[in-house]
Amino acid sequence: MPKLFTIGCEKATSTAVLGELARAKVKILVDTRAVAASRRPGFSKNKLAAGLDEHGIAYIHLQKLGTPAEGREAARKGDFKALWRIYNKHLKTPEAVEAMEELVTLVESGKAVCLLCYERDTAHCHRSRIAEIVQQRTSARVTDLAPPLF
């Protein structure tokens, strides 16, 4: 059975996130942020990829699975009903469909894959919707990882 993990980097250091990924034996980290930039050390695309490489974990950025700007704004306002409406519409775009196909193929490879986003709480993060779709299509076992808080 394929393994799919999810992890949010909110309120965690990059060291804690990398440690949690290594502990879970993740082989591929899929960054699902629309914008893979961060003011927090170690979480911008290039720094994150370099840190992962040191742990033998591959990095893939599937930007088109990220939440569009209007969805991120709804989430900031706490309007999760709007967030889910916007995100579900986004998932029907050709770019998101193509990215989802790529993700499904990665999961079906049998390597342990982990979805990364910012939000710590999966109930408020689009990665939970991605994981749900992948689980339906691949029967993957989904585990939410929670790195120690800083």
Q: Are strands 141-145 and 3-8 parallel, antiparallel or unpaired?
A: parallel
Distance CA 92, CA 24 (A): 31
Query: Strands across the sheet with 113-117, in order?
Result: 58-61, 28-31, 113-117, 3-8, 141-145
Which residue has 């999961």 as its token pair?
107
Domain ranges of the chain: 3-145
In this prediction, residue 45 has a pLDDT band, given cuts at 50, 70 and 90, of very high
| pLDDT for 150 | 79
pLDDT in tens, 83-123: 999 999 999 999 999 999 999 999 999 999 999 999 999 99
Say if strands 3-8 and 58-61 run parallel, antiparallel, or are unpaired.
Answer: unpaired
pLDDT band at 73; cut points 50, 70, 90: very high
Nearest in space to 102 (alpha carbons), one of 131, 138, 62: 62
Q: Which of 3.40.1010, 3.10.450, 1.20.1530, 3.40.1350 would CATH assign to domain 3-145? A: 3.40.1010
pTM comes to 0.95
Q: Report d(CA 73, CA 126) in Å as an integer.
A: 13
∠108-46-77 over CA atoms, to 5°? 80
Tokens standing for residue 81:
């009903």
* pLDDT tens string 4-35: 999 999 999 999 999 999 999 999 999 999 99
Q: Give pLDDT tens digits for 46-72.
A: 999 999 999 999 999 999 999 999 999
Closest to 5 in 3D by CA, of 149, 127, 138: 127
